[in-house]
Chains A and B, each alone.
Chain A
């Protein structure tokens, strides 16, 4: 049989880099398939993958996409439903919330590679030194207060590191989740943007002031990877971000502070919602791919229980891709090796894409609204908010600009008149 070459587009996050390193195990088991990787930074990956699939470019056989894209693209018929993942794949083992997020009408359109929510990661040594104790379910007031107390700018330690880089998947993922916990929402039931509400004003003011008092310099260009580097270098006392970061910050190979990290649920304000988001980087096959069979084989391999075991045997249980399977959280070896496991599961459970906000909303998705227009809107709003963070715009001006930009786009797309 002729050799099939799969071109796989993926994001440059640690778990995917690890998967790339383990590819030889897959090609050994499937000698008729070879694999070509296209590894890109998150924003660039989205551009490449979206233009490719929308123009039917056919460059890629396997796409790495998120829970945002899956339902939209599946409804357009852009993705191949995954029906032949193999007998021992055990679809029922996938965490229900994650499985829902990558399914449409009960059919799986993408296989979750890792799932995540957000949580607080903090330095236990710094907390002890300052005589603070992190509650399991902290409030924003506590987090803000602690961040200010822990900041030692001369010593190069900042109280809190948060995303500031503009982008709907960067600062807006965090800010939307934070806004939810403050009772704000993107749109009301009639799709009217809500940036002119006091809830958003409180959210953005709190965020900007917090970062001014206790954040690192240059925060407006920090995304997930930049903050990870800062935290691992011991420069952040707290970091609220994806649960998937936990395995990196506790890995002594990457992190200077590996044995001094504690975990807590994302903060709340007592309104019933935590700043939890829900996301799963998933593998999917674009419709029209001529190598769908081989692609599905690869997806089944990369998201299977066996892959988890493979990573565990090579790199230790703490480094397996988290957040996708119930069985993983029942595995005593994993629970022992991964101090963050319980908090990850609790965080994923705390997020609800179908009811993300305190007030009702017409959309699905916690840190995004699952409509095609959201990418554009979210990025424009993210730009305004990063300007507010950089101090080149006031909070009021940023909110007003966000409101008018969102209104413009929503009118244009025909959601509001």
Chain B
């Protein structure tokens, strides 16, 4: 049992570390809040003036904002759906005892270790290029017109790339969970004459509920800020079709050099992320308690 003195000592010893962490967090936040109330264009320095909430008004009424909010949600939702729907069968397959299982597992997980910029470049120039890409070549082999991916279906192309990167993550988590599934339960089900499908629905899937929750939570956090893939492949375009919130803030700050609006946008993004997190935790978080 800690006495009052040792408690006090422990707290005072912790103070410098906690204080440092606090400053580490609060200074950038405070600066962002401060900048968000200024008219501050990098191209016109010296013109900084306090404008109150005008930057927020401009950011929120920008037609690009609604478009990018929608794109962000579509992107996160589609990638989540793709990684989970494809991750489950993949995990089930990898759970089977096959020759060279370790090697196969390693290859399946590999995309996760490729840097986002690199994978985006590979997809853009080697696979999806409408003139010289692999997909175009394959399409021509069977006499089809090559798809002009980033022109005709830009958001879908980005979703494909991001899903390709995150599929290994989902697979890995689900596979680990499958390995902890009680073999005896499956054997019992088999002896009772349950079909493979009902075994999957009544035993495997409930068992996977928790890892799926984990995948959704963690992926959402990272997918809300997808940037490199968009920057490399489409630059947010054509038009605003692949601009998400993160890219919109980048474009405010570094293409239009409007620090005020970008800061306001950054704060809006923080609020959006918190709203999403709040609902996610409420909806799927219950799974974790059970």
Residues of A within 8 A of B (CB): 43, 47, 50-51, 54-55, 72, 76, 156, 165-166, 216-221, 235, 372-373, 375-376, 379-380, 383-384, 386-393, 398, 401, 404-405, 408, 412
Q: Is B275 an interface residue (CB 8 A)?
A: no
The CA of A217 and the CA of B234, in the complex, are separated in Å by 15
Q: How many residues of B contact A (CB 8 A)?
A: 33
The CA of A86 and the CA of B236, in the complex, are separated in Å by 46
Indicate whether A383 sits within 8 Å of B236 (C-beta atoms), given known contacts A54-B45, A390-B152.
Answer: yes
Residues in chain A near residue B58, CB distance under 8 A: 408, 412
- What is the chain A residue whose CB lies nearest that of B42? A54
Indicate whether A387 sits within 8 Å of B131 (C-beta atoms), given known contacts A51-B257, A217-B151.
Answer: no
- Having A383-B240, A386-B237, one finds 10 other A-B pairs with CB under 8 Å, namely A51-B42, A76-B45, A156-B131, A373-B41, A375-B256, A376-B255, A386-B239, A388-B239, A401-B63, A404-B63
Q: Which of B63, B129, B256 has the most CB of A within 10 A?
A: B256
**Chain B window 246-290, contacts with chain A (Cβ cutoff 8 Å), 1 for yes, 0 for no:** 000001001111100000000000000000000000000000000
**Chain B window 202-235, contacts with chain A (Cβ cutoff 8 Å), 1 for yes, 0 for no:** 0000000000000000000000000000000011
Residue pairs across A and B with Cβ atoms less than 8 A apart, 5 shown, are A166-B237, A218-B150, A220-B237, A376-B257, A393-B239
Q: Which of B130, B146, B239, B251 is close to A387, meaning CB atoms less than 8 Å apart?
A: B239
Indicate whether A387 sits within 8 Å of B240 (C-beta atoms), given known contacts A50-B257, A218-B148.
Answer: yes
Q: Is B77 an interface residue (CB 8 A)?
A: no
Shortest Cβ distance from residue B231 to the other chain A in the assembled complex, whole angstroms: 10
Residues in chain A near residue B150, CB distance under 8 A: 218, 220-221
A386-B43 in contact (CB<8A): no
B240-A50 in contact (CB<8A): no
Q: Is B89 an interface residue (CB 8 A)?
A: no
Shortest Cβ distance from residue B150 to the other chain A in the assembled complex, whole angstroms: 6
- What is the chain A residue whose CB lies nearest that of B44? A372
Q: Is B52 an interface residue (CB 8 A)?
A: no
Q: Which of A43, A50, A235, A387 is close to B237, meaning CB atoms less than 8 Å apart?
A: A387
A216-B131 in contact (CB<8A): yes
- What is the chain B residue whose CB lies nearest that of A165? B235
- What is the chain B residue whose CB lies nearest that of A168? B255
Q: Which of B45, B63, B254, B258 is close to A47, meaning CB atoms less than 8 Å apart?
A: B254
A390-B238 in contact (CB<8A): yes
The CA of A55 and the CA of B130, in the complex, are separated in Å by 41
- What is the chain B residue whose CB lies nearest that of A73? B43
A218-B43 in contact (CB<8A): no
User: Among residues 70 to 86 in chain B, which have CB atoms less than 8 Å away from a CB atom of chain A?
Assistant: none
B42-A50 in contact (CB<8A): yes
B42-A383 in contact (CB<8A): no
The CA of A389 and the CA of B42, in the complex, are separated in Å by 31
B255-A47 in contact (CB<8A): yes
User: Among residues 29 to 48 in chain B, which have CB atoms less than 8 Å away from a CB atom of chain A?
Assistant: 41-46
Q: Is B241 an interface residue (CB 8 A)?
A: yes
B238-A218 in contact (CB<8A): no
Q: Which of A217, A380, A386 is close to B238, meaning CB atoms less than 8 Å apart?
A: A386
Q: Which of B43, B63, B146, B234 has the most CB of A within 10 A?
A: B43
Q: Which of A372, A389, A401, A404 is close to B41, meaning CB atoms less than 8 Å apart?
A: A372
A372-B254 in contact (CB<8A): no
A375-B43 in contact (CB<8A): yes
The CA of A55 and the CA of B146, in the complex, are separated in Å by 46
B130-A379 in contact (CB<8A): no
The CA of A389 and the CA of B154, in the complex, are separated in Å by 13
Indicate whether A220 sits within 8 Å of B254 (C-beta atoms), given known contacts A55-B42, A372-B43, A401-B63.
Answer: no
Residues in chain A near residue B46, CB distance under 8 A: 76
Residues in chain B near residue A219, CB distance under 8 A: 151
B129-A218 in contact (CB<8A): yes
Shortest Cβ distance from residue A210 to the other chain B in the assembled complex, whole angstroms: 16
Q: Which of B62, B151, B235 is close to A390, meaning CB atoms less than 8 Å apart?
A: B151
A392-B234 in contact (CB<8A): no
Residues in chain B near residue A372, CB distance under 8 A: 41, 43-44
**Chain B window 150-179, contacts with chain A (Cβ cutoff 8 Å), 1 for yes, 0 for no:** 111010000000000000000000000000
Q: Which of A217, A384, A388 is close to B130, meaning CB atoms less than 8 Å apart?
A: A217
- What is the chain A residue whose CB lies nearest that of B256? A376
A218-B256 in contact (CB<8A): no
Shortest Cβ distance from residue B193 to the other chain A in the assembled complex, whole angstroms: 54
The CA of A380 and the CA of B43, in the complex, are separated in Å by 16
Residues in chain B near residue A412, CB distance under 8 A: 58
The CA of A372 and the CA of B256, in the complex, are separated in Å by 10
Residues in chain B near residue A408, CB distance under 8 A: 58, 62
Shortest Cβ distance from residue A79 to the other chain B in the assembled complex, whole angstroms: 14
Q: Which of A166, A373, A380 is close to B235, meaning CB atoms less than 8 Å apart?
A: A166
B129-A50 in contact (CB<8A): no
B238-A387 in contact (CB<8A): yes
B257-A54 in contact (CB<8A): yes
Shortest Cβ distance from residue B44 to the other chain A in the assembled complex, whole angstroms: 5
Q: Which of A50, A220, A379 is close to B43, meaning CB atoms less than 8 Å apart?
A: A50
Residues in chain A near residue B254, CB distance under 8 A: 47, 51
Q: Which of A47, A72, A390 has the most CB of B within 10 A?
A: A390
Shortest Cβ distance from residue A117 to the other chain B in the assembled complex, whole angstroms: 26
Residues in chain A near residue B255, CB distance under 8 A: 43, 47, 375-376, 379
Residues in chain A near residue B236, CB distance under 8 A: 166, 383
Shortest Cβ distance from residue B30 to the other chain A in the assembled complex, whole angstroms: 19
Residues in chain B near residue A235, CB distance under 8 A: 131
Residues in chain A near residue B240, CB distance under 8 A: 383, 387
Residues in chain B near residue A388, CB distance under 8 A: 239
A218-B130 in contact (CB<8A): yes
Shortest Cβ distance from residue B263 to the other chain A in the assembled complex, whole angstroms: 15
Shortest Cβ distance from residue A222 to the other chain B in the assembled complex, whole angstroms: 10
